[in-house]
């Protein structure tokens, strides 16, 4: 086992002044055990920890680093911008340039507002939908995560007509009384809800391709029913593309799938990995946002010039040199390698993949929603996680998070990862 004593010491120090030693629970390794690694630096497809170990990074800051770490064009743009000041609290042209790129890339988006995080984008999209429709009810799906906003932080139930129950202390029940939770990929449950409450639903929000219960793609019937019912009942269809936007295609999952939501939320990829979020959609809806309309949204760091510059550089690179076909080919190669490794080890498994996003589930059951995802053997995943870590492959530290490829990765990286998986899975089977 590699020596990770410096990370252990850094974690012990952090726990004295930071709750749990980390600034986001996703980094705490709670699902896999052990001590989280502390990163010293990153470059291309790699992370380097405090102890000097190198890891092939399949997290990519939870998705946005599609170009890898420290892409020269992004670094140059951010460096040039920060020399002119890190924050103005006033408009700058880079905001408009990035907005034009987003609108050009995503046909369903006619206007866009920048914020500082994916959570803020989701929260603002919900407020906008309620303000636009004059209704209160919001529908979400079990296993879809939309940030830590109170109204969407509800337990992952699948009952169509029950109210969401807060799954965090500090979230009053009243905050989720107007949130309804359905099963993902369940068109019948969706139809039943709209039959009972369709005239009260402000919005339906979902990840069009889920990354937050592991990778789970939508069925065609589910997507068709979503668009039909929301249109029929005058509800706003919101796609949370914080993970999938500009990753699965230049126009996001909606381009790949051929869908047209009313509003879309985006995350850090539109800022080159900097703290950025955005929400955009039909002009008649977006014009309800203040100061054009009455729906309040504000933020001093919204449209931050450094993040805008990094975002412009990222989207220009993705537009000029689209990586999506190559990433899909690498993903297919990795998927085949993981399937072969798990089959050879006799380990029950499912590999779900869409483009450059993927998850190896430790279950023999097809994974189509949260309930089937939970059939996975989380303890076995934890052993696999550390087996891969010890072989220099950094995976998400939970069975229920998607992994991501990036453009600096090569066929050799995929071959090495499949070989590491064979060894790690053989150990699991033997243990």
- 268 catalytic? Reply is yes
- Cα–Cα nearest to 268, from 290, 254, 247: 247
List 145, 184, 250, 324, catalytic entry: 145
Residue appearing with tokens 């139809």: 191
**Number of helical (H) and strand (E) elements in the chain, helices listed first:** 14, 14
Report the candidate in 341, 355, 351 with the shortest Cα–Cα distance to residue 406. 355
Q: Are strands 54-57 and 46-49 parallel, antiparallel or unpaired?
A: antiparallel
* Annotated active-site residue in 268, 274, 324, 369: 268
For residues 64 and 267, the answer to whether their CB atoms sit within 8 Å is: yes
Cα dihedral sign for 241, 242, 247, 248?
A: negative
Selected catalytic residue, list 49, 57, 186, 240: 240
Place of tokens 């295609």: 249
Q: Is 250 a catalytic residue?
A: no
245 and 266 Cβ atoms separated by less than 8 Å: yes
CA distance to 22, 96, 122, 311, 411, per residue, from 278 (Å)? 25, 13, 9, 11, 33
Q: Where are the alpha helices (DSSP H) in 321-410?
A: 324-345, 370-373, 378-389
- 240 is annotated as an active-site residue: yes
Q: C-alpha 360: how far from its chain's center?
A: 17
Q: Smallest Cα–Cα separation from 384: which of 409, 408, 351?
A: 351
Residues serving a catalytic function are 145, 240, 268
């Amino acid at each position: 086992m590699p020596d990770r004593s410096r990370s252990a010491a850094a974690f012990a120090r952090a726990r004295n002044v930071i709750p749990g030693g980390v600034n986001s629970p996703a980094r705490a390794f709670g699902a896999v055990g052990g001590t989280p690694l502390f990163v010293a630096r990153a470059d291309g497809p790699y992370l380097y920890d405090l102890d000097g170990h190198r890891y092939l990074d399949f997290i990519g800051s939870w998705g946005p680093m599609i170009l890898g770490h420290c892409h020269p064009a992004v670094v140059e743009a951010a460096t040039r911008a920060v020399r002119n000041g890190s924050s103005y609290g006033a408009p700058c042209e880079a905001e408009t340039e990035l907005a034009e790129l987003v609108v050009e890339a995503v046909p369903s988006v006619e206007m866009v507002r920048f914020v500082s995080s994916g959570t803020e984008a989701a929260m603002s999209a919900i407020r906008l939908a309620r303000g636009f429709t004059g209704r209160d009810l919001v529908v979400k799906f079990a296993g879809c995560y939309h940030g830590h906003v109170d109204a969407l932080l509800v337990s992952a139930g699948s009952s169509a007509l029950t109210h969401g129950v807060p799954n965090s202390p500090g979230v009053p029940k009243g905050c989720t009384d107007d949130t309804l939770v359905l099963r993902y990929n369940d068109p019948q449950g969706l139809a039943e809800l709209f039959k009972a409450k369709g005239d009260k639903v402000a919005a339906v929000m979902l990840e069009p391709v889920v990354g937050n219960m592991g990778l789970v793609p939508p069925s065609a019937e589910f997507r068709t029913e979503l668009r039909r019912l929301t249109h029929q009942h005058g509800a706003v269809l919101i796609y949370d593309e914080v993970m999938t936007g500009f990753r699965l295609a230049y126009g996001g999952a909606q381009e790949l799938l051929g869908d047209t939501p009313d509003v879309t939320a985006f995350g850090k990829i539109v800022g080159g990995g900097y703290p950025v979020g955005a929400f955009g959609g039909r002009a008649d809806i977006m014009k309800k946002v203040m100061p054009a309309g009455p729906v309040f949204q504000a933020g001093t760091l919204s449209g931050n010039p450094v993040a805008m510059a990094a975002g412009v550089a990222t989207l220009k690179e993705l537009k000029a040199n689209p990586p999506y076909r190559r990433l899909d080919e690498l993903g297919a190669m990795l998927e085949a390698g993981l399937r072969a490794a798990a089959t050879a080890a006799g380990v029950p498994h499912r590999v779900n993949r869409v483009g450059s996003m993927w998850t190896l589930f430790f279950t023999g059951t097809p994974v189509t929603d949260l309930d089937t995802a939970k059939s996975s053997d989380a303890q076995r995943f934890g052993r696999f996680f550390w087996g891969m870590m010890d072989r220099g492959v950094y995976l998400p530290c939970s069975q229920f998070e998607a992994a991501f490829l990036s453009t600096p990765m090569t066929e050799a990286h995929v071959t090495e990862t499949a070989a590491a998986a064979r060894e790690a899975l053989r150990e699991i089977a033997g243990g």
